[in-house]
Structure 1
Amino acid sequence: MLAFFRVGMLGFGGGPSAIPLFQQEAVKKYKWMTDEEFADTLALANTMPGPIATKMAGYIGYRVGGIIGCLNALISSVMPTALLMIFLLQLLQVYKDIPWVQHMSASVVPVVAVMLATMTWDFMKKSGDTLGWKKAVILILASFLLTEWFNIHPGILIFVLILFVFLPSKKKEAAKG
């Protein structure tokens, strides 16, 4: 699958930088899933151990083509990157003291930051539209405080929120009865 090869080759900076690329390929270009399904997939993938890009490729590939699609996606996204990484890291070791190589490496960081900020803004808009802006802002601020100030792992926070959604509340029970 060319989509996963592109993500694997262009996701410079690690798994988080590949997330917007996965969204571009799976949601916008090929329309394999909606933005909401992508957000759910990303949230679930963040709760599990291991590299996020591998989990996203594996699940999206499975969703599109079953077991063969999963294997194809994993090989397409991981193998070329692994081989290229071995080659480029050896090359980088040889030329690491040259100033333009140091500047090139440092220049990637702002690009990744912009990609992540764009994706964050898209998720914030969707949260505001889905939950209402007041509830979305409260959840965003609470999540930020819990992860950044209290060092609670995002996976734990996501798990607790999933439990909260599925636990019966008095309002839900009153609506049924």
Structure 2
Amino acid sequence: MNPPAASWQLFWAFFRVGIFGFGGGPAMIPLVRAEVVTRHHWLTDEEFADVLAIGNTLPGPIATKMPGYIGYRVAGITGCIAAVIAIIVPMIVAMIVMLGIFSRYRDVAWIRGMGQAVVPVVMVMMAQLTWDFFDKSRAALGWLISIVIAIIAAGLIYWLGIHPGWVIGAILIAALLRPAGKQKAEGAA
């Protein structure tokens, strides 16, 4: 069972994510995982992966869906409200400040370089998250099935232009409709 968490703990956890989550929702995912799974142990890696998968199938920004659900799961309605407010306040303030600075000093080289310098850091964070999820998939499904699913998903998403939510939704439906294996049938007998 998850340890009880006060709304203020959720607030500060997601406030840190909001402050350091440059690059938008996808860049925040590794930071959310670090707070929720590694630091506070509110979710397991498997639960986090489920939240991420379902969050990607729903409309709206992942940067608010995940904190909203996690906050609700950990501390109810007040936890949901605290987590969502904590994640959006730094974004709003940063956006106002940075757009003001950018508008005023857009021709200064170091201002242009700031945005470009963050990209490699976000790339490394996303690569680490990708490897962690692939490693979990490999452990649960094996190398071959994990690679086949990844290739099929990449083909559907990148080459055919199908929205990732449809791909994830189809996998969830296929898993729900899959007949129970022999072990479950024998265990019930």
TM-score by length of 1: 0.95
Shift of residue 173 of structure 1? 11
Given the alignment, which residue of 90, 102, 110 partners 2:112? 102
Q: For residues 167 and 89 of structure 1, do their structure 2 counterparts lie closer, same or farther at Cα, with a shift above 3 Å needed?
A: same
Shift of residue 169 of structure 1? 2.7
List 4+ stretches of structure 1 deviating above 6 A: none
Shift of residue 80 of structure 1? 2.6
Quick check: 1:14 aligned with 2:24?
A: yes
Letter in 1 for 2:144: K
Q: Please name the residue that 1:74 is paired with.
A: 84
Given the alignment, which residue of 144, 148, 151 partners 2:154? 144
Q: For residues 94 and 148 of structure 1, do their structure 2 counterparts lie closer, same or farther at Cα, with a shift above 3 Å needed?
A: same
Quick check: 1:3 aligned with 2:7?
A: no
Map 1:119-158; keep pairs closer than 5 Å. 119-158=129-168
Q: Please name the residue that 2:64 is paired with.
A: 54
CA distance in 2, matches of 1:138, 1:172: 24
Task: Give the count of matched residue pairs.
Answer: 177
- Aligned to 1:31, the other structure's residue is in SS state coil
Give a deviation string over 1:57-96, Cα, whole Å, max 9, x none. 1011111110000000111111232122112211111111
CA distance in 2, matches of 1:18, 1:57: 11
List alignment gaps of at least 5 residues for structure 1: none
CA distance in 2, matches of 1:135, 1:100: 46
Letter in 2 for 1:29: R
The two structures, once aligned, show a CA RMSD in angstroms of 1.7
Q: For residues 65 and 153 of structure 1, do their structure 2 counterparts lie closer, same or farther at Cα, with a shift above 3 Å needed?
A: same
CA distance in 2, matches of 1:28, 1:109: 24
Q: Please name the residue that 1:28 is paired with.
A: 38
Give a deviation string over 1:101-146, Cα, whole Å, max 9, x none. 1111111111111110110000000000011111111111111111
- Aligned to 1:158, the other structure's residue is in SS state helix
List alignment gaps of at least 5 residues for structure 2: 1-10
Identity %: 48
Q: Please name the residue that 2:6 is paired with.
A: none
CA distance in 2, matches of 1:166, 1:150: 25
Give a deviation string over 1:25-83, Cα, whole Å, max 9, x none. 00000000000000000000000111101001101111111000000011111123212
CA distance in 2, matches of 1:153, 1:62: 27
CA distance in 2, matches of 1:29, 1:173: 36
Shift of residue 168 of structure 1? 4.0
Shift of residue 170 of structure 1? 7.5
